[in-house]
Amino acid sequence: MSMLLQFTRTLSFLCILGGFLACDTNPAKNTGPENENKNLDAVNGTPVLDGSASDEAWENAAWYPIPYSWKENAPDSNDFKGRFKVLWDDNMLYVLAEITDDTLTDIHPDGLIQYDDDDCLVLYLDEDASGGDHAYNYNAFAYHIALDGKVADMAPDSSNQFFDEHCISRRTTSGKISVWEVGVKVYDGKTYTDGGENIPKMLQQGKKLKFAAAYYDNDRSSEKEHVMGSFPATSEPKDNAWQNADNFGIMELK
Ligand SMILES: [Ca+2]
Ligand SMILES: [Ca+2]
Ligand SMILES: [Ca+2]
Ligand SMILES: [Ca+2]
């Protein structure tokens, strides 16, 4: 075999191998590894909000993990494991969350009292990606979505309020695994007023928002046992996303 032929064959082999490796590291498919970055892409598509991930649109979106403990004790993977995807269309964002939780707990019947001590999925949304304080303003929203679909957050007057009209949520649970499919309307926090005529924003390709996801896990205790989030808590208090948007991931609408 000539040196040139051998070199060409070796090069071809390396190219094919490179192709396989490139496929393996592609995070944009269901079969790919999960993306470890807190920043994320939302893919254009519209799912049916029925608590089932069977929509074709979800196949084009990458999974992002919820691996970081925002409390002193981290759960094992039997106790909690979570990941999510995000889609968007002109009207809203869509979040698919797959949550493994050994016990579903809702011990506070009033959805405005200790809503963060019952199991809940939390979606944090900062429409203009400004970051910063959002404890008593609408610079960002922290939607605490309860097992019954009620959506709670703190209002500027520091009262707890329902924001049910902001999020359409459907959940299906099989054994320890719950699938949450949530449509999230996007409001301009700079103009949003309590009780006002607030119109959700239309979304466009290329828009950047700040976004994060978390799960408050209680398993029959009087208070939450674990708080798990999509970005690492780098300072104290670790569970700070409810009042500060600085560490949310940047989400681009692709
Ligand atoms: Ca669906
Ligand atoms: Ca649990
Ligand atoms: Ca903002
Ligand atoms: Ca639980």
For 178-202, the pLDDT digits (tens) are 999 999 999 999 999 999 999 999 9
Q: Which of 21-30, 117-126, 215-224 has the lowest mean pLDDT?
A: 21-30
Kindly give the distance from the C-alpha atom of residue 205 to the centroid of ligand 3, in angstroms, as a whole number. 19
In this structure, the number of other CB atoms found within 10 A of the CB of residue 93 comes to 22
Kindly give the distance from the C-alpha atom of residue 27 to the centroid of ligand 1, in angstroms, as a whole number. 21
Cross-strand partners of 41:
252
Question: Is the predicted pLDDT of residue 31 greater than 50, yes or no?
Answer: no
Ligand nearest to the CA of 102: 2
Tens-place pLDDT, residues 159-169 = 999 999 999 99
Where residue 105 falls (left for φ over 0; alpha for ψ -120 to 50; beta otherwise) is beta
Nearest to 40, CA basis, from 93, 3, 90, 4: 93
Tens-place pLDDT, residues 197-227 = 999 999 999 999 999 999 999 999 999 999 9
Kindly give the distance from the C-alpha atom of residue 140 to the centroid of ligand 3, in angstroms, as a whole number. 5
Helix H or strand E encompassing 229: strand 226-229
pLDDT score, position 165: 97
Kindly give the distance from the C-alpha atom of residue 181 to the centroid of ligand 1, in angstroms, as a whole number. 7
Give residue 35's pLDDT band: very low, low, confident or very high (50, 70, 90).
Answer: low
Kindly give the distance from the C-alpha atom of residue 231 to the centroid of ligand 4, in angstroms, as a whole number. 20
Question: Is the predicted pLDDT of residue 11 greater than 50, yes or no?
Answer: no
Q: What is the residue whose two structure tokens read 């896990």?
A: 217
Kindly give the distance from the C-alpha atom of residue 133 to the centroid of ligand 3, in angstroms, as a whole number. 9
Fill in the DSSP letter of residue 115. Answer: G
Give residue 8's pLDDT band: very low, low, confident or very high (50, 70, 90).
Answer: very low
Kindly give the distance from the C-alpha atom of residue 48 to the centroid of ligand 3, in angstroms, as a whole number. 28
Kindly give the distance from the C-alpha atom of residue 136 to the centroid of ligand 4, in angstroms, as a whole number. 28
Ligand nearest to the CA of 137: 3
pTM score, two decimals? 0.86
**CATH class of the structural domain 39-253:** mainly beta
